[in-house]
Amino acid sequence: MPATPSPVSTGYPELDALRPRLQAIPTLGADALEAEEIAILGRKSGALTAALKRVAELPIEERKSYGAAVNRLKAEFEAAFAARREELEAERKSQEHAERDLTMPARHRWVGAEHPVTRVVDEIVDIFRGIGFTVAVGPEVETEWFNFLALNFPADHPAMDMHDTLYLDAAPAEGEPGGRLLLRTHTSPVQIRALLAAPPPVRVVIPGMVYRNDAFDASHSPAFSQIEGLAVDEGISFVDLKATLIHFAHRFFSPSTKTRFRPSFFPFTEPSAEMDVECQLCHGSGCPACKGTGWMEILGCGMVHPTVLENVSVDPEKYTGWAFGMGPHRITMLRYGIPDIRLLLEGDMRFLEQLREGARAQRREGGQ
C-alpha cells in the first residue's frame, strides 16, 4: 500500500474538506475508484475542476496561491488514483493466475477440412463463374411436372422408369404445377425453375443432391450430387456447348486433357451427347478404372429441346440454348482414383484423412 499522504492544511477550507476522500482512495474497489475519479477530476462536475474554475473569480492577489494549492491537491489525487488502479490491476492478475491450472493438459483445437466432393463442387462452380455463369439452386422435393413433364419426358414413357424415382406420399403444395411429389432424380428441373424465374439471357450452374431408387454399392448410391449447367440466349449453337465444356475440362483436369463427345439421348436435349475425358489414371493407355478404353464419361449434355423452351414460354424461334449435367461424386472418384462411391458418402474419418493428405500432395504437384 502506498504511504498515506499526511494531512496538510492548504489554508482553504473547501480544499481541506477533500482530504479525507484523498486518504480513502487506497481502500476503494474498481467501480468506486472510477466513480470517485469522476467526482473529483471529472471535466464536467469534478470537485477540483470546479475549484479551478473559481480561480478566475478571486481577487488578483489570491489567485496565484489558491491556484497553486488546487493544482497541488489535484496532483496528489492523480497520483493516488493511479497508484490504486495499478494495485487493483496487480490483484486481478494474480487472482487470474491462481485460478489457472497450469498442469491441465492442453486442449487441442480440432481442425476440420472440406469434404473432397465439396471441394470439387466449389472448383467446378468457380470455373463457370469465371466465364459469366451465376449459381442457382432448387428444391430436392419436386413434382412430376418439374422433374419430368416440363423436361419433355412423355407421360408414362419408360424414360421415367430409367431414373428409378423415389415418390413421396405427401400431396404437392397448393398451386405447384403437376402431379405427384418425388425426390428429384436430377438437377435438370432447376433448368425449368431458372427459365421461369427470369427470361433469357440465362447462364447458370446448379449444384445439388439428387436421389434415385438405386442399390448402395461400389458404383451406385441412392443419393449423389449433380451440377447442372444451362445457357439460353439468342444465337447459341452446339459450338458454344463444345467450346465451353472443353474449356471446363482443361481448367478442371489439365490443359492437355483430351476430350471427346459421343451421341446420346435425353428427352430434354436434341441433339444430345455424352462427354468423355481421357482417363485420369492411365492417361489413355487403358486400365481397369476405364475398363481398358482410355476414356471416362463425365457428363451428359445437349442443345435444349425446343419443346422445353415452349413449356416455359420462351420462344424457340428466337432463343436457343445448351445444357449439361455432371456428377461431382463421380468426378471426385475419377480425379482421385477412388474405387468405391461409398467411401465418399460414409464419412469414415480414416478415409477422409488420407484424402486430405492426398489432395494436398496433388495440389503441390500442380504448383497451386
Pairing of strands 223-233, 259-266: unpaired
State which residue, 202 or 355, has the beta carbon closest to ligand PHE.
202
Give the interface segment with ligand PHE, choosing from 66-74, 91-99, 195-203, 294-302 (CB under 6 A).
294-302
Cell of 358: 492426398
Count, residues near ligand PHE per rule CB under 6 A: 11
Q: If binding is defined by CB under 6 A, does position 225 make contact with ligand PHE?
A: no
Q: If binding is defined by CB under 6 A, does position 28 make contact with ligand PHE?
A: no
Q: If binding is defined by CB under 6 A, does position 25 make contact with ligand PHE?
A: no
Q: Using CA atoms, how far apart are residues 164 and 159, in angstroms rounded to an integer?
A: 10
Q: If binding is defined by CB under 6 A, does position 221 make contact with ligand PHE?
A: no
Give the interface segment with ligand PHE, choosing from 62-70, 238-246, 306-314, 319-327 (CB under 6 A).
319-327
Q: If binding is defined by CB under 6 A, does position 300 make contact with ligand PHE?
A: yes
Q: If binding is defined by CB under 6 A, does position 207 make contact with ligand PHE?
A: no
Helices 116-129 and 349-365 pack at an angle, to 10 degrees, of 40
For 89, the 3-state DSSP assignment is helix
CA nearest to 194, candidates 237, 151, 157, 224? 151
Cell of 366: 500442380
The phi-psi region of residue 309 (left if phi > 0; otherwise alpha if psi is between -120 and 50; otherwise beta) is alpha
Contact set for ligand PHE, span 258-287 (CB under 6 A):
266, 269
Q: If binding is defined by CB under 6 A, does position 328 make contact with ligand PHE?
A: no
Q: Using CA atoms, how far apart are residues 37 and 31, in angstroms rounded to an integer?
A: 10
Nearby residues of 235 by Cβ (< 8 Å), 6 or more positions away:
320
State which residue, 207 or 300, has the beta carbon closest to ligand PHE.
300
Q: If binding is defined by CB under 6 A, does position 116 make contact with ligand PHE?
A: no
State which residue, 66 or 319, has the beta carbon closest to ligand PHE.
319
Residue 232's DSSP bridge partners are 202, 321
Question: How far apart are CB 310 and ligand PHE at their closest, in Å?
Answer: 17
